[in-house]
Amino acid sequence: MELENFLHQMAKNWGWLLLRGVAAIVFGALAFLWPGVTLLVLTIFWGAWAFTDGLFALIAAFRVREKGKAHWPQILIGVLGIAAGVVTFVSPGLAAAALLMFIAAWAGITGGLQVMVAIRLRKEIEGEWMLALSGLVSIMFGVLIVLRPGAGAMAVIWIIGAYSILFGVLVVMVALKLKGHAGGARMTGTAKPA
């Protein structure tokens, strides 16, 4: 019953998740539209996106309550995103490798937390795989950056753009799935078997 209430609260606040997805798509599109942008400008764009994503995640965490408490994985995602954005604005001149490792860590941690949320919802909704997949994409993105730190700035821009768009599309799909649940009916009509 607790999980059902949590799912209902998430569905009621599906718009915040939708905003996260749209912000990711917009950031990814900007990376593709302006591929010649300097690393400093990319850093500022990424910082703005991470801060916005974290803010939306934090707002959703406090609006979606479970047993009267905010949802802790969403709080962590929000705090990490806001911190990533603030650090990026305070020190935009960080060396490219250090910034990339910071982005890799952020992507891996938030991806792992999203997979946890998807696992938690697996018996309540169909389509939880979309949330799990967005988390796995984040983890793979982080690993790719760690394995290829010497990649040129242009390649990094394209990787970040592709990741952001794919992540955003998956998050928008989850938000729209939750919107269908907002009326109180189960997303599938019945719970998935255990």
d(CA 26, CA 22): 6
Helix (H) or strand (E) holding 70: strand 69-70
CB atoms within 10 A of CB 92: 14
At residue 25, the pLDDT reads 93
d(CA 21, CA 53): 8
Q: What is the pLDDT of residues 97-124, one digit of tens each?
A: 666 777 788 888 988 988 888 888 777 7
Token output for 106: 């952020």
Sequence-ordered list of residues with C-beta below 8 angstroms from that of 50, at least 6 positions apart, any chain: 81, 82, 84, 85, 88, 106
- Please give the model's pTM, rounded to 2 decimal places: 0.52
Q: What is the pLDDT of residues 47-86, one digit of tens each?
A: 888 899 899 888 888 877 666 666 788 888 889 989 988 8
List the one residue out of 12, 24, 27, 2 whose CA is nearest residue 114. Answer: 24
DSSP state, 192?
P
Which whole number is the average pLDDT over 139-165?
77
Q: What is the pLDDT of residues 26-51, one digit of tens each?
A: 988 888 887 666 566 777 777 888 89
Which whole number is the average pLDDT over 124-129?
76
At residue 68, the pLDDT reads 67
Sequence-ordered list of residues with C-beta below 8 angstroms from that of 44, at least 6 positions apart, any chain: 88, 89, 92
Name the one residue in this structure whose structure tokens are 């760690």: 146
